[in-house]
Chains A and B, each alone.
Chain A
Amino acid sequence: MTRHLPWIFLAIVGAVSLTVVAVARGETVNALWIVAAAVSIFLIAYRYYALFIARHVMGLDGARVTPAIRRADGLDYVATDRSVLFGHHFAAIAGAGPLVGPVLAAQMGYLPGTLWILAGVVVAGAVQDFMILFISMRRDGKSLGELIRMEMGQTAGTIALFGAFMIMVIILAVLALIVVKALAESPWGTFTVAATIPLAVMMGIYSRWIRPGRIGEVSILGLVGLLAALIFGQSVAASPVLGPLFTFTPIQLCWLLIGYGAIASVLPVWLLLAPRDYLSTFLKIGAIVALAVGIVIMAPPLRMPALTQFVGGGGPVWSGSLFPFLFITIACGAVSGFHALIASGTTPKLIANETHAPFIGYGAMLMEAFVAIMALVGAAILDPGIYFVMNSPAAVLGADAVSAAAAVTAMGFPIDAATITQTARDVGEATVISRTGGAPTLAVAMAEIFSHAVGGPAMKAFWYHFAILFEALFILTAVDAGTRAGRFMLQDLIGLAVPSFKRTDTLLPGVVATALCVGAWGFFLHQGVTDPLGGVNTLWPVFGISNQMLAAIALMLATVVLFRMKRDRFAWVTMVPTAWLLVCTISAGGLKLLSADPKVGFLSHAAQFSAAAERGELLGPAKSMAQMHQIIRNDYIDAGLCALFLAVVLAILVFAIRASIAARQASKPTAAETPAELAVA
């Protein structure tokens, strides 16, 4: 009993903190209450739930050899110290997703997002990561597609692979869109991000020929270059000659990014991708740590209300009501299907002992949820007026500070034009009006937090551009690496029909697959950038739905495996989150498709615009008939995409039910695990 005492104490701390967060009204709540609640809940979930899953549901066995030992080769399969592996796994799962989703979700107030992150990660997200890591670890570190094929059949595997490819395309498009939104009309930001290209190439050459393998050395050199670019960027932006050279409209940036993606993904990896990955990985970890420290030092009050009037729908940042749309807006951070690809990637091949799996699988996801909590705190410490000025579409706000101030004040968040202009001046930008996509908002929040600790108000502009640089840097790395991964997925898929397409030693299939891949995400990026409604509004929900659907697929696989292991009694561990994700994604996908509200449903939106176009009328924000037709076409494409995702997830559901019934009827376990081999004691 005494060993439970500290945990009971922690539970009380968590409960008190959460109560303060949840019920305090009329007075501002300090952000540290949310942090305290999150930390206590995560520690307790790890100590009790993760351990329960490890011992009883999975039956982890410390004596059973892992792939890292059985297939040890010193390269892919290496038994690795568990805290070293934790770092590797966390760096692979943490990206832009947990930073952006919570910022967008803040339009409903800080409370709904906080509660969903806390509950979602404990019951769904961390369980998914942990289960997939376990399943892959027991099968020689095979990938998600192969695992689904092994346990649910060839067809299910192919459908899942296709779904994963489409999700990849949407992710790349939405990430690129965030970069476009952050860098548009911002010469300082654009210059520093552009400077990372020659900088990375120099690092690449250094680590290829001058001092091969000296990652630490070359990263420090790169960091110095990065800071120099950041400082010099201010003068570039102010210069009448250079400034305009780095000032781009969203559509120009869109084409630049598509061109960048096409070229970067066929360059040798050591030249651009690898060195940029060093910078972005270390900067990402550093910025996350700095953000945590900064929040604790500043202990800022939350200025966003706990709940806003947009809980019922009608919010300007994204459309729809709390259920189901909050649960797809915050995907990464609460539960992210993409992690299933990581947990069945390199990590299961490096794990030294089965008993390390809870710390790495469950623990790293808790850490990511903590990052999401910090992003939410960031959005909530801003003046809500500024938050809505930055995140509402231009169509709502109008072009200048006066109209934006009037529009946001009318929403119930009083703000004056002078504050808007001053905020833009403080962060060294021409404007902060309708800088959607989450990244600029988070950058303003990080500038607040960092400048409080280092440099004071004078440093705000520097920190703002530092935050933009850090986000853009790892998004561009993801675009580059994702295009390469997508290319191989596509080659495998087309290879099912045309076997010669799988070959990687000839040039043509690779070039065709790369072009198709860039074309696919470029198409959605272009659609988002030219979307008169702002793009993020449309694309982010589609991304959220697809990512959560991949999570549902991964959890269905986990459920099938539990039945095939004859652990029926514990199948609720994965069935509960599966059911929740299916309810959320199917209703969100269904509403996006069929809702009669044109603000939510793609088809009713298309119908509204078609009817107007037939009458020869223009509906705002379209300014020409061509734009009207473009909006209608985009609606049909997005509707088709939603229908496709729904079809994929429903097909997998049918396969999962069939496989589970078959497993229950079998008299002994049918899971396709690699036979247990015990380590010699």
Chain B
Amino acid sequence: MIGAVFAKLRETARLMVGLPDYDAYRRHMAEHHPDQPAMDQTAFFRDRQNARYGGRGGGRCC
């Protein structure tokens, strides 16, 4: 119970700074693109970092 709450808080905090769930990404790749290589965790982190801060993302508010 406490573990689940903590996991959710952790997921929220990570998405607040633009990092989606890596496990969900792996599940998606396994289900829909089993033929393509999936990024490892580091590549995934860097990819998302560029996507959030590259400027196209719209950024945040005043």
Contact = CB atoms under 8 A, between A and B. Distances in A.
A93 B13 contact: no
B11 A484 contact: no
A277 B17 contact: yes
A84 interface: yes
Interface of B: 8, 10-22, 24-29, 32, 41-42, 44-62
Given A80-B20, A212-B41, A269 B59 contact: no
B16 A484 contact: no
A interface secondary structure, majority: helix
Interface string A546-588: 0100000000000000000000000000000000000000000
Contacts of A339: 61
Contacts of B48: 75
A244 interface: no
B45 A213 contact: yes
Given A87-B16, A269-B53, A274-B53, A75 B25 contact: yes
B interface secondary structure, majority: helix
Interface string A73-112: 1111010110111011001111111000000000000000
Interface string A486-498: 0110000000000
A97 B62 contact: yes
Nearest to A175: B62
Interface of A: 72-76, 78, 80-81, 83-85, 87-88, 91-97, 143, 171, 175, 207-208, 212-213, 215-216, 269-270, 273-274, 277-278, 281-282, 285, 332, 336, 338-339, 341-342, 344-346, 350, 477-478, 481-482, 484-485, 487-488, 547
Given A73-B28, A75-B51, A273-B53, A336 B8 contact: no
Given A80-B20, A270-B46, A341 B54 contact: no
Contact of B42 (A73, A212, A277): A212
Nearest to A273: B53
A593 to B, nearest CB: 23
A94 B44 CA distance: 27
A481 B59 contact: yes
8 contacts: A87-B13, A93-B61, A212-B46, A336-B61, A341-B58, A342-B60, A478-B61, A482-B59
Contacts of B51: 75-76
B11 A84 contact: yes
Question: Which of B17, B18, B28, B62 neighbours the largest number of chain A CB atoms within 10 Å of its CB?
Answer: B62
A517 to B, nearest CB: 10
Contacts of B32: 72
A390 B56 CA distance: 39
A87 B15 contact: yes
A207 B12 CA distance: 19
A215 B20 CA distance: 12
B21 A78 contact: yes
A352 B2 CA distance: 24
A92 B55 CA distance: 14
A143 B24 contact: no
